[in-house]
């Protein structure tokens, strides 16, 4: 059977309560936040999640990283208030503002993720 629908939702509800910040990384962050983007106006962004289902939980608002340094972040991570990574993974498609065209970021660009675009779940 594997993990039950009840426990998947319960686990995702707990994740949604604990995750408070999102970061971008130039490579796999690991458990320590390696290769986090830095410089210019980059900073971790606050996140709030919508209600979980047994399939997943999505960020319930738009997330914008403004005044980014030049580069091409490939991963993201969610952190708790104590500064521990709870989940990390590959960004499925890098979007420049609200389009779906993969792109490298120029210095000063904004990287935006529309509401509902980012989801964490079980596969």
Token representation of residue 65: 């990283």
pLDDT tens readout for residues 97-109: 444 444 688 899 9
pLDDT tens readout for residues 31-90: 999 999 999 999 999 999 998 988 889 999 999 999 999 998 989 999 999 999 999 998
**How many Å apart are CA 92 and CA 5, to the nearest integer?**
25
Predicted local distance difference test score (pLDDT) of residue 1: 63
> Which of the four pLDDT bands, split at 50, 70 and 90, describes residue 11?
very high
Token representation of residue 69: 């340094």
Nearest partner of 74 among 117, 24, 112, 123, judged by Cα: 24
Residue 23 near residue 38 (C-beta atoms within 8 A):
no
Query: Structural domain tally of the chain?
Result: 1
Which residues have C-beta within 8 Å of that of residue 76, sequence separation ≥ 6? 22, 23, 24, 25, 88, 89, 91, 118
Q: How far apart are the first and last CA of the chain?
A: 14
Average pLDDT over residues 22-32: 95
Question: Which residue range is the domain that position 42 belongs to?
Answer: 5-121
> Which of the four pLDDT bands, split at 50, 70 and 90, describes residue 115?
confident
Nearest partner of 52 among 3, 113, 10, 7, judged by Cα: 10
**How many Å apart are CA 74 and CA 32, to the nearest integer?**
16
């Amino acid at each position: 059977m594997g993990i039950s629908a009840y426990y998947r939702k319960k686990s995702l509800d707990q994740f949604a309560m604990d995750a408070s910040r999102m970061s971008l990384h130039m490579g796999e962050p690991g458990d320590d936040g390696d290769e986090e983007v830095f410089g210019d106006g980059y900073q971790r962004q606050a996140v709030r999640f919508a209600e979980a289902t047994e399939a997943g939980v999505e960020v319930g608002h738009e997330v914008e990283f403004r005044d980014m340094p030049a580069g091409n972040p490939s991963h993201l991570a969610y952190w708790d208030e104590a500064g521990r990574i709870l989940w990390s993974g590959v960004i499925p498609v890098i979007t420049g503002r609200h389009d779906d065209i993969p792109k490298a970021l120029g210095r000063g660009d904004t990287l935006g993720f529309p509401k509902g675009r980012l989801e964490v779940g079980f596969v």
